Each structure stands twice: as structure tokens, then as C-alpha cells.
Structure 1
């Protein structure tokens, strides 16, 4: 049986993958996530998911490496992880009352065959009108500084949203499990 490896340092992706009740390893790919010149949000996400999987591949023979990445955009502006409280405040002020499209990419690399299955799952999110008090209260309670768009939809962040539209709610959290389950089944794994 092929070893499943999550190429990520994300605790959210680790929790999501554990829902499949399969053993897996975790290996942080440590790649440069700086966007390339004139690169679109969707393209960044796709490239980084692939780079993560291929960066980890040399460490695992006969394995299925899962690379995933998420970016978003709003009004042609790329939205990434805020990393700090100050950046999260600015990000939520900008996103207030607007629609953002989240792109969660997935790359499943079979290191035995060197074949990769890849996809991007789009998710539309409409933020409510947010005032400073709501933003500060949310950020102090949730501290979503390592979350694209400063929102943890699986937690209190759902209260900041007017609606979400997408085919797989786990894609918004960071790992599209519906697509991943199909990819794993294509590799002969029964879930």
C-alpha cells in the first residue's frame, strides 16, 4: 500500500485529512510562496499546491503526496494570510460588504508512477458589512492570522459572512475533501 503524505504545515489541513480515518505522514514542504510577477490568485494557488507535492516527493518513495494551497481575490486584489492582527484588521475592513473568490488547489502526486492529479476548487464568499467593533471582537476571539481572508468559516468566522457558495465546504477550510476522495479512489484506495 502506498503511504499517504500531507505536504503541509497547516493544522487545518491535518484535521481535515484525518476525517478519512487513514494513516498519513505530515511533511512541511518549506517553499517560497511569493507570488510571481503578474500572477493571478488562482494561478498562485495551483502552482503552490503542485510545488508543495513535488518538493516533498524526494523524501517518500511509493507514496501519495497531497499538496494543497489557498488564495483568494476581491476586486482584482490578491487576498492572502494576514499573519498579524494589524493586517487582519485592514483585510477585513477591505473585504467588508464585498464578495471574494477563494481558490483552493489540490495536487495528488503518486511518487511511484510520477503521475499527478490536479484541480482548483472555487468558492464564493460574501462578507457582511463589518464595523471596527465587530472586527476587533472577532479577531481577539479567533485570531485567524494564518487564514486566507482572515476568516475561519469553521469557527466564529462564519458570523462575518452573508453567504458562501461552492461545491465543497471543506475547500473553504483549506483541503477539498470531495475532490481528494475521488483522486484517492482513482489511485485504488477505498475510503
Structure 2
């Protein structure tokens, strides 16, 4: 018997990715502090947050598979989160103009019945175009959801125009979920996608 699936995320982007796979799931808000720890590497932050989000819902969903996910961007020796305001997004995009950015997309699946946990971190390298202040302002006016994206670059939308190049083994990871890994993992837990 396949356990019911929970997505420990309120991200509309991740929810849409799961809907595309055609699986039944419930989205639930994780109760977990997402503050990075001092001296923590970006991939470790992403993985710790993904696991923490899944584990935060384990008591509520004791007979479920819980997907936890998080993404951290890294540039200039600094972790970049979600700007959450247009002003912060504009400042972030000015900093990132013409830069190489590493995106670490972490995902885990927790079987709360058995306690089994599988996890993965996918790395995507992005080269940003040189951007003028006018281009940044137009982008943010046309792509208001960018403030909820790590690095303010919503690559699946107009944010693609900000990018010169993407190097990745899974193009879905940049959106928020490393789908290639997740499909294999869910299959391992008995939930076949196809």
C-alpha cells in the first residue's frame, strides 16, 4: 500500500511541479526556522532546511511520505535567499548582474511510518546577463512573484530573459524540486509515477 503524499511547502512553484507529475498530494506549511546557521555551506543549509521542513510535519502526518525541499543560491561567498520585497529584489539583481550563481536545490522524502529518509542536493550553475537598472525595474514590474524566488530569478517565467546560461543535470531543480531524483526516490518508496 502506498502511503499518502505530503509536500512540506506552501510554494506554488513546487506544488505545480508535483501536479505536473500527476500525483495526489496535500501541501502543508512546515513549522521550521529557515535561518541559515553561521559558517554553514549553502548546500548544507539547503539540505538541513529541506529535512527540517519534512520532519516538522512528522507528528501531524505519522503514516505518510513527506517531501521536504529548499533552495539556496550562492554568489560572492554569500547565501542568497528570497528577497520578499521589490526593493530587496532590485538590489539583489543589481549585485547579481553579470555574475555566476550556484543554486543548491535540496529535496528529501521522509517515510514517517518507518522513519526512513532519503535526501539529495542538486547543483545548478547560472550565468546572469549584464542588467541595467531599467531592465531590472521592468522585469520586477512584469514578474511580481520573483520576490519569492531565491536570487529573484524566476527562471520558469520572464526570469529566463535574465539568464545567459544554465548548467544542470536536472532543469527542474532550478524551479525548486529536483524532479529526476524525486521520481526515482518516490518509486523506491512504492509510489510509481509512470
**Contact 2:31–2:57 (CA under 8 A) maintained in structure 1:** no
Number of the residue aligned with 2:123? 122
Aligned length: 191
Compute the displacement of 1:176 (Å).
Answer: 1.0
Compute the displacement of 1:26 (Å).
Answer: 1.0
- Divergent runs of 4+, >4 A: none
Determine if the alignment matches structure 1 residue 22 to structure 2 residue 12. no
Number of the residue aligned with 1:140? 141
For structure 2, the 5+ residue unaligned runs are none
Give the Cα separation in 2 of the matches to 1:62 and 1:119: 22
Give the Cα separation in 2 of the matches to 1:135 and 1:59: 42
Determine if the alignment matches structure 1 residue 160 to structure 2 residue 158. no
Give the Cα separation in 1 of the matches to 2:42 and 2:191: 31
Note the alpha carbon deviations across 1:125-152, whole angstroms, 9 max, x for none.
0000000010000001002111001011
1:57-96 equivalences in 2 (<5 Å)? 57-96=58-97
Give the Cα separation in 1 of the matches to 2:49 and 2:23: 25
TM-score by length of 1: 0.98
**Contact 2:9–2:29 (CA under 8 A) maintained in structure 1:** yes
Give the Cα separation in 2 of the matches to 1:168 and 1:98: 21
RMSD: 0.8
